[in-house]
Amino acid sequence: MQDTLQRKFYRKEMEVNALLEITQAVNDNLPEDDLYKIYEFTLRANLQLSKMVLYVKDLDWECKVQFGAKKDFTKIPLDTGCFDLKKIVAVTDAKLSISCFNEFDIIIPVTHKEKLLAFVFIKTSEEEKGADTTFIQALSNVILVAIENKRLARKQLEQQAIQREMEIARNVQNYLFPDVLPNSQKLEIKAFYQPCKTVGGDYYDYIPIPNENQFLVCIADVSGKGMPAAILMSNFQAVLRTLSRNAENPEQVIHELNHQTWHNAKGENFITFFLAVYDFDKKNLRYFNCGHNHPVLITKDEVMILNEGSTVLGAFDPLPFLDKGEIENIEEFSLFMFTDGLTETFNSAGEEFGEERLRKFLVDHKNKDLQTTHNDLMTELEGFKKENAFADDLTFLSCRVNNATP
């Protein structure tokens, strides 16, 4: 009787010591690997288990701790028969299909707030019969909840870092767009921009060239999203604004933009780009379309698709070819530029809005003011897609010139 009481007392003392060790390790904020090592040592030394395997749910079920087992359980998947277990059971009572788990006596599921965290497979030593499985379950719960909290805290920090990155990228991107667009009888420009997510990959710009009585308009779409895309587009804009002083030679601007994009992106990203320069004195429009959606130019007499140019920027250095588009003796026109988020808006039947539908819309609105055109276009898109979400950034820019001689 005395031996039995002494044995029980000794076991409880070991359990208390084990709990204190685990609690101290958790309070010391030790790394996960150290916590698993302390957990293993505690069960081996204090509770005298001869065999033990611990499977933990991470991205998948993985064996994190093992000792005394004949097999290497890090290479053996968890038996799916465990998933139906709600309480501690003998291995012989579990419906397991993988025979190597039969070298254990007991399976202990570990849960927290009804979430299944782990399974402990144990076999007691010959000297230590009838291990306190409830205590093992509680001890496992303590350490696994601590590890789970570490993971959640790490994910939260990662999400916060991503959110900060997105905010920085969004601020960087906002600086790219012009603060003020012209709104006069001679020249009016309106723009619309709606990113699909926090940060988009679209860009548009208006750059006046007063000494030459010219102006430059452009639109671009960079492959990729987030901070890398925002930084690449920021560099792109800086180069463009520096080179735009030489708008008399836009070919050189395009070649340099391509070179800088290739250099900055290392060939991993590219940019579709459209640039147009209008000269009020010469009444001509020069443009280059580098792999971008074809802008629509509408005059009194015709509708033109502006497709002369080259391939996307940043994919080759140097560009394999570069063709200049030029329209002479043009005094009054409307130019509509857009990114593929507009034409690739889909309805519930999987049909895209498309360029043909867009051109018809623009022709029908050629005599309306630009803001009304933009508002009506958004109404048209919303009615077309209905409950569907926009799958990409949505950007478009309208430019109307009235340069007729009084």
166 located within any domain: no
Using the 3D structure, point to which of 157, 184, 215 is the last residue of a domain: 157
Evaluate whether residue 88 is within a structural domain. yes
Q: How far apart are CA 96 and CA 78, in angstroms?
A: 10
Same structural domain, 21 and 112: yes
Are residue 147 and residue 209 in the same domain, yes or no? Answer: no
Domain that holds residue 134: 1-157
Q: Both 66 and 207 in a single domain?
A: no
User: Do residue 88 and residue 217 come from a single domain?
Assistant: no
C-alpha distances out from residue 320 to 41, 269, 312, 365, 396, Å:
66, 17, 10, 38, 28
Asked if residue 310 is part of any domain, the answer here is yes
Same domain, 270 and 350: yes
Mark which of 129, 157, 185 sits at the end of a domain.
157
Domain annotation covers residue 162: no
Separation of alpha carbons 332 and 256, rounded Å: 31
Q: Are residues 329 and 242 in the same domain?
A: yes
Q: What is the pTM of this model?
A: 0.66
Whether the bond between 320 and the residue before it is cis, its omega within 30 degrees of 0, is no
Number of domains in the chain: 2
**Tokens 């750059």 correspond to what residue?**
207
Q: Does residue 309 lie within any of the structural domains?
A: yes
15 & 121 share domain: yes
Indicate whether 260 and 370 sit together in one domain.
yes
Q: Degrees (nearest 5) of the Cα angle 103, 105, 108?
A: 120
User: Tens-digit pLDDT profile for the chain (406 aa)?
Assistant: 544 555 555 566 666 666 667 667 666 677 888 888 888 887 776 666 788 999 998 888 999 999 989 899 999 999 999 998 889 999 988 889 988 999 999 999 998 888 888 999 998 765 555 567 888 888 888 888 888 888 888 888 888 887 787 777 677 667 778 889 999 999 999 999 988 766 667 889 999 988 889 999 999 998 876 667 777 888 888 889 888 766 568 898 999 999 999 998 887 889 999 999 999 999 999 999 999 999 999 999 899 999 999 999 999 989 999 999 999 999 999 999 999 999 999 999 999 999 999 999 999 999 999 999 999 999 999 999 998 888 888 999 999 999 986 6
| CATH assignment of the domain containing 332 | 3.60.40.10
Question: Is residue 313 located within the same domain as residue 243?
Answer: yes
Long-range contacts of 353-360 (CB under 8 A, 24+ apart): 353/381, 353/384, 353/385, 355/293, 355/294, 358/296, 359/296, 359/303
**Residue 164 maps to a domain:** no
Residues 196 and 295 placed together within one structural domain of the fold? yes
| Residue 169 domain flag | no
Q: Is residue 171 situated within a structural domain?
A: no
Do 217 and 128 belong together in one domain? no
For residues 32 and 133, state if they share a domain.
yes
We report the CATH number of the domain holding residue 112 as: 3.30.450.40
